[in-house]
Structure 1
Amino acid sequence: MDQKVFINKAEASGIIAFDLWDYKPSIDIIEFDLKELLFMGMIVKEKEFKESISVLDFSIYAGKAVAIICSTDAIIPPWAYMLLMDKLSSYSVYTDIKNSEEILLDLWKKNLQSASMEQYKDLKVVVKARSETAPALYLLATQLLKPYVKSLMYGEIGLPKVIFKN
């Protein structure tokens, strides 16, 4: 009786998967809308703005990233951001004037940049394809991996698209 031996060609190829989602930040990101602190939702009046900030409970931002936005088309003076940051800095771990998606991307990039890529030295690496991953992350992954890898690919181990070979 003949026994067929199946060879896993993907495993035999020596290709290593690199999943960008392993570097996705797990921190909660909360949007802080300045509109709620504006007079009539449109105007920054110093006295009212300071009073509005003084009654807020900033402890809800403890250990979180804060995305400062303004959902109305108001002109916000720089001192208003400074007052807000004075209160947030005791609680939030990251704050910026961006929406939550932009903050997530920034933190994701930081995680990638702080990771050691030396473990991929002289290896064949495929960056896992995911449609929900921002293209900027693929760009950064290529930049970070290129000095180390023998070859870089995109897609899945079984059918990768070759980006370059050294």
Structure 2
Amino acid sequence: MDQKIFINKAEASGIIALDLLNYKPTTEIVELDIRDHLFMGMIVKEKEFKESIAAVDFSVYNEKAVGIICSTDAIIPPWAYMMLMEKLSPYAVYADLNSGETILLDLWKRRLMYADLKCYKNQKVVVRARADHDPSLYLLAAGLLRPLVKTLMYGEIGIPKVIFKS
């Protein structure tokens, strides 16, 4: 009897997929709005600011990344940020003057930059396409993979777009 053997061409191609989603941080990210600690929600008065942050239970930020924002158009002196960081540092794993969305992207890039990508050396690699990923992640991935890989592609294993071949 004649048996037909199907060959998985995608598997046979030797292409390895890199999914940027694997490097997405799992740390919970929250925002801390300075406005809540300002006099009349607009002015930094040292005494009131110190009293306000002294009353906060900063342990709620334990093991979290904190994006410090100010939702009003107030001028915040640098020492106020330093005071906040002094209170946050025993608890938060990361803090910066950015929105939660920007913090997520910063941490994601950091994880990718410090990832061990040696397993992709001299390989044909396709970086998986995902519409919801920030383009800067693809820019960073290309820069990190370029010196390592034999072929860099974008998309899916079955239908990749070749970026470069060595």
On whether the aligned pair clears a TM of 0.5, the verdict is: yes
Mapping of 1:128-147 within 5 angstroms? 128-147=128-147
Alignment gaps of 5+ in structure 2: none
Question: Structure 2-normalised TM-score?
Answer: 0.98
1:114 matched to 2:147? The reply is no
Letter of the aligned partner of 2:56 in structure 1? L
* Separation in structure 2 between the aligned mates of residue 116 and residue 93 of structure 1, nearest angstrom: 22
1:11 matched to 2:11? The reply is yes
1:55 matched to 2:60? The reply is no
Superposed CA offset, 1:2-35 (max 9, x none): 3221110100100000000101000001100011
Mapping of 1:1-166 within 5 angstroms? 1-166=1-166
Letter of the aligned partner of 1:89 in structure 2? S
* Separation in structure 2 between the aligned mates of residue 110 and residue 20 of structure 1, nearest angstrom: 12
Aligned pair count? 166
* Separation in structure 2 between the aligned mates of residue 123 and residue 138 of structure 1, nearest angstrom: 18
Deviation at 1:41, TM superposition (A): 0.9
* Separation in structure 2 between the aligned mates of residue 130 and residue 152 of structure 1, nearest angstrom: 16
Identity among equivalent pairs (%): 68
Aligned Cα root-mean-square deviation (Å): 0.7
Superposed CA offset, 1:33-60 (max 9, x none): 0110111111111111110001000000
4+ residue stretches of structure 1 with deviation over 2 A?
A: none
Deviation at 1:157, TM superposition (A): 0.2
* Separation in structure 2 between the aligned mates of residue 3 and residue 41 of structure 1, nearest angstrom: 77
SS state of the match for residue 159, structure 1? coil
SS state of the match for residue 111, structure 2? helix
* Separation in structure 1 between the aligned mates of residue 82 and residue 43 of structure 2, nearest angstrom: 17
Letter of the aligned partner of 1:71 in structure 2? S
Letter of the aligned partner of 1:39 in structure 2? F
Alignment gaps of 5+ in structure 1: none
Question: Structure 1-normalised TM-score?
Answer: 0.98
* Separation in structure 2 between the aligned mates of residue 67 and residue 134 of structure 1, nearest angstrom: 18
